[in-house]
Amino acid sequence: MFKKITYYLFTQDSTEFIFLIQFLTVPIATFAYGHTPEILPVLIALCIGVCLYPKIAQQPLFWIGMLGVTTYDMYHHALFAANHSWVVWYWLIAVTIATCFIRTGDALQILNNNARWLLIIIMLVAVGWKAAKPEYVNGTFFEFNLVSNTKMAPFVSVVGDLTDKQINSNIHGTARMFLDLEQEQTVLHSSWYMRVIAHMATWWVLLIEFAVGLLLLFYKKSFDYWAHMFHLQFMFFTYMAAPIMGFAWIIWLLGYSLTWGHSVQLRKYYIALALLFFVYMAPWEAWYINYLWHQ
């Protein structure tokens, strides 16, 4: 089994590479949806079906069905859907169309173009949105998230020069602020380290997102290589501090989909990062927040 998985991860056959992307898309899509109670069991059943009978992922009817199920889910929860749910939905459309064109030999090009442009749009739109907001550019937004976001708590406890009591106070204070709209003021604990980290992270994120989006626009192999390097760095550092794994997995898959035609070494970097994601997915946040809650 391990040898078979390894074979597909490093395959040089285009049809097998397409199949790998189809197979990897299924679990990522499954756990990006399920907002509607009756939808999640259907998605899990489809995911289990692909695990037991992988070849069904090569059938257009399977993807039309999966796209229909996720579209139904998105229609009923469009206003509350996370950003990555929309990205996954667009990717499902691309995979569905590509699957319909496997026999014509156009499937790989369809997947490649859509992965490229989804990454370009994600990165450049993110840069534009952030750069237009003064509270983001001056580091205030990032500092607020660092000291008050539960997902950042384990990271802040290590590098932020804040005590567990102060971090706990920030989390409780932020919760009260959003629950009690009449509350005039909430004082959050921060530190010089947090302000420095916030400013550095703010500009690092802006520059690296801009670099990834810009380099991918050129459709040149050498530029693509550096786009991959920046993209891998972005995922490694961003999701180490803030393990928002729904978004992490879909932009990982988009990047991996663009490795076709590059050296096997590049795929190894993506696979190593995927293994690291499983470490990030351990419930460190829940364990740490539970510890803080009882302080």
Domain range list for the chain: 1-105
**209 pLDDT more than 70:** yes
Encoded tokens for 287: 């364990």
pLDDT at 136 (0 to 100): 81
Note every long-range contact of 96-100, with CB atoms under 8 Å and residues 24 or more positions apart, other chains counting: 96/60, 96/63, 96/64, 96/66, 96/67, 98/18, 99/22, 99/58, 99/59, 99/60, 99/62, 99/63, 100/60
pLDDT at 197 (0 to 100): 80
280 vs 106: which has the higher pLDDT: 106
**65 pLDDT more than 70:** yes
Confidence of residue 178 (pLDDT cuts 50, 70, 90): low
pLDDT at 84 (0 to 100): 84
**76 pLDDT more than 70:** yes
Distance of CA 28 to the CA centre of its chain: 10
Confidence of residue 259 (pLDDT cuts 50, 70, 90): very high
Task: Give residues with Cβ within 8 angstroms of 162, minimum separation 6.
Answer: 147, 156, 170, 189, 190, 191, 194
Cβ count within 10 A of residue 23:
17
Residue 262 is classified by DSSP as S
228 vs 174: which has the higher pLDDT: 228
pLDDT at 265 (0 to 100): 92
Q: What is the percentage of the chain residues whose pLDDT exceeds 70?
A: 84
Percent helix, strand and coil across the chain, each to the nearest 5: 80, 0, 20
Cβ count within 10 A of residue 10:
14
Average pLDDT, the chain: 84
Encoded tokens for 171: 């989390």
Distances (CA, A) of 102 to 16, 17, 54: 11, 12, 16
CA atoms within a 13 Å half-sphere pointing along the CA-CB vector of 82: 15
**292 pLDDT more than 60:** no
